[in-house]
């Protein structure tokens, strides 16, 4: 009889290894695909998006001046970070890009609260969930079904996850400082 609640042995069966790899693949492709689609909305107007000009105008209205720089940077960050996650390529960097972008989205939506009672107000729960998912991938790595798997540049674990989150926080804070200063 095996008690899985007290298991101390590492994952070692082929089924467990494949299940972990498939789970990370599903997470990466689903989450990364959504992030890339958000970027494509901002940059190209795809998927019922606003397009580049409306995005840059919107960023200008939110106080991110110049809106052309910040709006383009946000769209590119979502698109590139999302695509890197989809493919499982340079995963800690991809996660840092997404987390940093989501910290700025949380900042913009902060006044709405986590769960606003007014349905016309947007809260920050969605970008928080996206930041959490990206941070989790920074720590776990992309899994065996990825372009990073088995490559010399592949990185994962506590140090790389913490480094990715740290880089994201620093980049987000610098962006917010620039927003306030410009």
pLDDT at residue 154 in the model: 85
Range of the domain at 104: 31-181
Residue 19 domain-assigned?
Answer: no
Q: Distance (Å, rounded) from C-alpha 55 to C-alpha 74?
A: 9
Q: What is the DSSP letter of 10?
A: P
Residue 149 domain-assigned?
Answer: yes
pTM summary value? 0.89
Residue 5 domain-assigned?
Answer: no
pLDDT band of residue 6 (cuts 50, 70, 90) is: low
Q: Dump pLDDT digits (tens) for 83-120.
A: 999 999 999 999 999 999 999 999 999 999 999 989 88
Q: Answer yes or no: is pLDDT of 7 > 80.
A: no
Residue 15 domain-assigned?
Answer: no
pLDDT band of residue 4 (cuts 50, 70, 90) is: low
Query: Number of structural domains, the chain?
Result: 1
Residue 11 domain-assigned?
Answer: no
Give the tokens for residue 25: 């693949």
Q: Please provide the average confidence, as pLDDT, over all residues in the chain.
A: 92
Residue 4 domain-assigned?
Answer: no
């Amino acid at each position: 009889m095996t008690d899985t609640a007290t298991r101390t042995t590492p994952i070692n069966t082929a089924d467990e290894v494949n299940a972990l790899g498939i789970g990370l693949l599903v997470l990466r492709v689903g989450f990364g695909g959504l992030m890339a689609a958000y970027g494509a909305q901002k940059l190209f107007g795809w998927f019922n998006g606003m397009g580049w000009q409306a995005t840059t105008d919107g960023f200008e209205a939110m106080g991110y001046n110049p809106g052309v720089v910040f709006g383009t940077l946000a769209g590119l960050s979502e698109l590139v970070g999302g695509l890197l996650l989809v493919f499982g390529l340079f995963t800690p960097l991809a996660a840092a890009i997404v987390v940093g972008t989501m910290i700025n989205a949380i900042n913009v939506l902060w006044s709405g609260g986590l769960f606003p009672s007014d349905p016309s107000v947007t809260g920050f729960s969605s970008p928080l969930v996206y930041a959490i998912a990206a941070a989790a991938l920074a720590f776990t790595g992309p899994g065996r079904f990825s372009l990073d798997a088995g490559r010399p540049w592949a990185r994962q674990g506590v140090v790389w996850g913490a480094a990715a989150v740290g880089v994201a926080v620093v980049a987000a804070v610098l962006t917010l400082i620039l927003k306030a200063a410009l």
